[in-house]
Amino acid sequence: MTGPRYRGRFAPSPSGPLHAGSMLAALGSWLLARQAGGEWLVRIEDIDPPREVPGAAQAQLDMLAAFGLLHDGPVEYQSRRSHFYQAALERLLADGTAFECHCSRSEVAAAGGIHRRCVARRPRPDPAIRLRVPDGCRIAFDDGVHGHIVQRVDLEVGDFVLRRSDGLWAYQLAVVVDDADQGITDVVRGADLLDSTPRQILLQRALGLPTPRHAHLPLLLGADGRKLSKSEAALPVSADHPLATLRLLWDCLGQAPLAGHAAHSVEEFLRAAAAGFRLDRVPLQARHVCAAAHNTNVSTRA
């Protein structure tokens, strides 16, 4: 059986409502999937209960629906998939690619914050599991927006955590297992995850999984050209005026005005946008108009 030509996904963590930056990623990813005649899946990445906000996952799904970003198939929840992460971890432990690490946070910090070898003075009852990153490990890939990216994973990241000492799964392992299980061909997400991609490629290789294509969409900038602060970036978008917000997000994605700007409904706009979207117009950083996208939908709706 052959998989689909194109399958994208949006994978929010339910740590709060979707903000303008995440809606930008959702929109770009949806448009590319629809343009390719492909599928678009939604996966709730709820593997970090302490950071989870009750009701956030449903609010995120409602927001996507309000913006017309309809998904294919059932929504997947990472919290139901531990056994798959466990199986992957056991394979990595069995072949020596992963190892138990007894180092404390302060011991790793004292070694420059990049783990290259265990320095633990005493074993801990709750060791983390890390991936062993070989010396000289250099991962390169071509990003649809950022072009050729190279990372020396050994020097810039070090041996990274797959299962935390508190027993929670690390994002890097879960995302790789799920993208492969769901047959994702194209990962389109925010540029804050650009430097995670080499780790994920390394894991895909260690597990014998395919590497999808990648495109990392711009982060939003404030009107002053600087990245939005965490608290600003965390402000939710409003579902009250989805069409106006979609137009602003479209501008943030560097797209030329299209006939769909005159559209009277979200559906009409999205149809025109999917036909006219051009990845080669997407800027590395979102234009300042995004601050307007943000403010329009936060403060003027009070």
Q: How far is the CB of 200 from ligand GLU (least distance, A)?
A: 8
Q: How far is the CB of 87 from ligand GLU (least distance, A)?
A: 20
Tell which one of 7, 11, 46, 56 touches ligand GLU (CB under 6 A): 11
Here's the x/- map for ligand GLU, 22-61, by CB under 6 A: it reads as: -----------------------x----------------
Closest to ligand GLU by CB, 189 or 294: 189
C-alpha gyration radius of the chain: 20
Point out which span in 8-16, 53-61, 99-107, 205-213 binds ligand GLU (CB under 6 A): 8-16
12 touching ligand GLU, by CB under 6 A: yes
Closest to ligand GLU by CB, 163 or 189: 189
Point out which span in 7-15, 117-125, 154-162, 277-285 binds ligand GLU (CB under 6 A): 7-15
Size of site (CB under 6 A) for ligand GLU: 7
186 touching ligand GLU, by CB under 6 A: no
Closest to ligand GLU by CB, 57 or 153: 57
Closest to ligand GLU by CB, 80 or 124: 80
Closest to ligand GLU by CB, 46 or 251: 46
189 touching ligand GLU, by CB under 6 A: yes
177 touching ligand GLU, by CB under 6 A: no
Residue 94 neighbours by CB under 8 Å, 6+ apart: none
How many CB atoms sit inside 10 A of residue 83's CB?
8
Tell which one of 6, 7, 13, 145 touches ligand GLU (CB under 6 A): 13
7 touching ligand GLU, by CB under 6 A: no
Cα distance between residue 155 and residue 137, in whole Å: 8
What string of H, E and C letters represents the secondary structure of the chain?
Answer: CCCCCCEEEECCCCCCCCEHHHHHHHHHHHHHHHHCCCEEEEEECCCCHHHCCCCHHHHHHHHHHHCCCCCCCCCEEHHHCHHHHHHHHHHHHHCCCEEEECCCHHHHHHCCCCECCCCCCCCCCCCEEEECCCCCCEEEEEECCCEEEEEEHHHHCECEEEECCCCCECHHHHHHHHHHHCCCCEEEEEHHHHHHHHHHHHHHHHHCCCCCEEEEECCCECCCCCECCHHHHCCECCCCCHHHHHHHHHHHCCCCCCHHHHCCCHHHHHHHHHHHCCHHHCCCCCCCHHHHHHHHHHCCCC
282 touching ligand GLU, by CB under 6 A: no
Here's the x/- map for ligand GLU, 192-231, by CB under 6 A: it reads as: -x--------------------------------------
Contact residues: ligand GLU, CB under 6 A: 11-13, 45, 175, 189, 193
